Structure 1
């Protein structure tokens, strides 16, 4: 998957860690905690808990209010596969030798133990839902199963439509668009990838081994990564009249061409192609910039709602008091 980016390349990793839900230290000593590891895709610090007054992220903000919030942690790479491999192996890209999507660290650099693999070795039942490792060559076409996971990783079936003609344009026809707020009921299967991932994660929580074995459940959301294929109702949270342009939209003077990403992935979308933007420096028309920012924030709120569903499931299943929750993103 092409992961060209809009905006800054090296951004703060969002990393919220709930240290405990136990009522006393004795519980923490006598009982091994379950782990729910949640990772978003291309999430900046566009959250209320990081001081963004525009963002509407009540579920993540509530999690942050009772968590350790990290303010000075940085992405190792501004591309999904190497960033995730770096984080999940605790090694820098110059050690994993992964800067793109075309190599598997166990083959090309070293047989490193991953975070879920460590938990598995300690007797945890480990499960992967959605985009945790980057799928494909970068994780050996198996999401690093069986090393990291007790069962094969799950990927939402509706993700196959992310780059298909499923976005209704102003002409009433379906397109492959960047801006793709949809009526979910009209989508293939009547669903979206992150909705499916939460459904599967809740199912796994309900059917996990119930013999006292602790679990490590990783849930990877696809949003707010482009395209912005999200439920259309989330746009109403961010009226265009309230949107602002980026504070510093200009290309820096004397910028070396190698340091600039011409957002090739965006240019493949039909609604962007209609703008006929010059390559490689643009600029994008200001009205379209505002719509991009509106859709990004809406995608964040949509993803936040899915986090809320996961946390509610922990409570409903009586798991909240003995589950550590980690929330992070691969990069902004």
Structure 2
């Protein structure tokens, strides 16, 4: 071997050493996505482990999903683009084929030397992620789905009344009596812990996304958590019926809840029937117990994480209504359906509460900046044509995290589709071809203004002149959205100001 070859080998070792050194200084990411966790859950029941992380993190108290439905919300977050930019309002299309080959959050980290892992539900499964959870674009390895997930809607819920197992909504269980003697989120926990404790992976940066299934329905969770939510402490909704001022198009019939065996037996009239109060209490108790179960799993994850080396994000794909205004589940532009927890822990950032409105699609540019992956300013997406450059419909939240008191925008935009102004069987989840109306909503610190307008699902044209309902809520005076004040004279100038802001932002 001549001296030239020796020099090449030494140079290669030096370059590889430099790469390792650079990798060792990169912060890893633990991204935790909880399914259907409403923002107020930690106030309604003590989520100890989430609260402990929040005390040492930046917590956004006014964070909102772009659409209160799993596939559009998750795809929006993971691409940094709005449902309108993705043309995705249901769960039946794949953005790379239908709109553009947009880069995703984990894909971008992967391209910067991270090993990326998906555990549980991160992308919505099915066609909206190409039946692969967007593998291999987004992930270094095949995404993991817990084997017992196949029993998600199986008749495994003990039913004392019928003395048999049913497909119930309320489903506290003995874990040892379940198929496989476990539950999906427990399996995801074990898989994620193995990744976090893998010594080989400690030598390189990782992006670990963990998607927890509960408190998504059915409310199936270890029975012991029910004892932590005393029935006597459950509070009934302030407004358990549809408010008189709510436009009919804003209402949804929560069909998936009605179809569960225990709720179906109640024979609640479609589409406007109201949940009996006894069952309102039962469902709320089980929802909070399921949230406590997930909080325990998050605590087990965080115990394996060195917070000096990790950025940690905890959020949800959207919220969940618990009988407020007679509505359940998501499927609306209500604060209860759109507002989510958002906690970001990043080494070097002081704990802080931020009440300016932010959006889930802000997470992508925020993590890019926190991880120092891109030092140039990432532009807003000017059009759908440019699919190669990294661009976002959202904004980085890092300035706010540093204490900037003058954020660039102080509102959040959300939307929800409807097939008709009259609630019907597919009002909750209309397919694209059936969408005739789109409800666009702007949320400031104090107000939410919504217009339900005509929408052409073939051309994606918005018809502002076709109005099917208008809503305006003042959260300072009415935090439960019990009074639609858009016709009150004292709100007239505010209404037109918000209308102008909404229409200029939704183009």
C-alpha RMSD over aligned residues: 1.8
The equivalences for 1:278-289 within 5 A come to 278-289=269-280
Give the match's secondary structure for 2:154.
Answer: coil
Aligned to 2:189: 198
TM-score by length of 1: 0.86
Identify which of structures 1 and 2 has the higher relative contact order when contacts are C-alpha pairs closer than 8 Å and 6+ apart. 1
Which piece of structure 1 moves more, 246-255 or 210-219? 246-255
Residues 187-240 of structure 1 show CA distances to partners (whole Å, capped at 9, x for unaligned) of 000101110100010112233744722100000000111110000111111111
Aligned to 1:323: 310
Deviation at 1:294, TM superposition (A): 0.4
Q: 1:309 to 1:211 in 2, by over 3 A?
A: closer
Aligned to 1:13: none
Residue of structure 2 aligned with 1:66, choices 49, 56, 67? 56
Question: Is the CA contact 2:41–2:288 (under 8 Å) kept in the aligned structure 1?
Answer: no
Rg (Cα) greater in structure: 2
Residue of structure 2 aligned with 1:55, choices 45, 48, 51? 45
Aligned to 1:292: 283
Unmatched 5+ stretches in structure 2: 1-20, 320-507
TM-score by length of 2: 0.57
Q: 1:55 to 1:222 in 2, by over 3 A?
A: same
1:188 aligns with 2:179: yes
**Count of residue correspondences:** 298
1:139 aligns with 2:134: no
The equivalences for 1:16-95 within 5 A come to 31-48=25-42, 52=43, 54-95=44-85
Question: Is the CA contact 2:148–2:182 (under 8 Å) kept in the aligned structure 1?
Answer: yes
Unmatched 5+ stretches in structure 1: 1-26
Distance in 2 between residues matched to 1:144 and 1:210, nearest whole Å: 22
1:253 aligns with 2:244: yes
Give the match's secondary structure for 1:258.
Answer: helix
Deviation at 1:249, TM superposition (A): 1.7
Structure (1 or 2) with the greater strand fraction: 2
Aligned to 1:113: 103
Deviation at 1:73, TM superposition (A): 2.1
Residues 114-164 of structure 1 show CA distances to partners (whole Å, capped at 9, x for unaligned) of 110110000000000000010111100000001100001011111111111
Distance in 2 between residues matched to 1:269 and 1:105, nearest whole Å: 32
Distance in 2 between residues matched to 1:181 and 1:285, nearest whole Å: 20
Distance in 1 between residues matched to 2:24 and 2:64, nearest whole Å: 34
Distance in 2 between residues matched to 1:71 and 1:295, nearest whole Å: 24
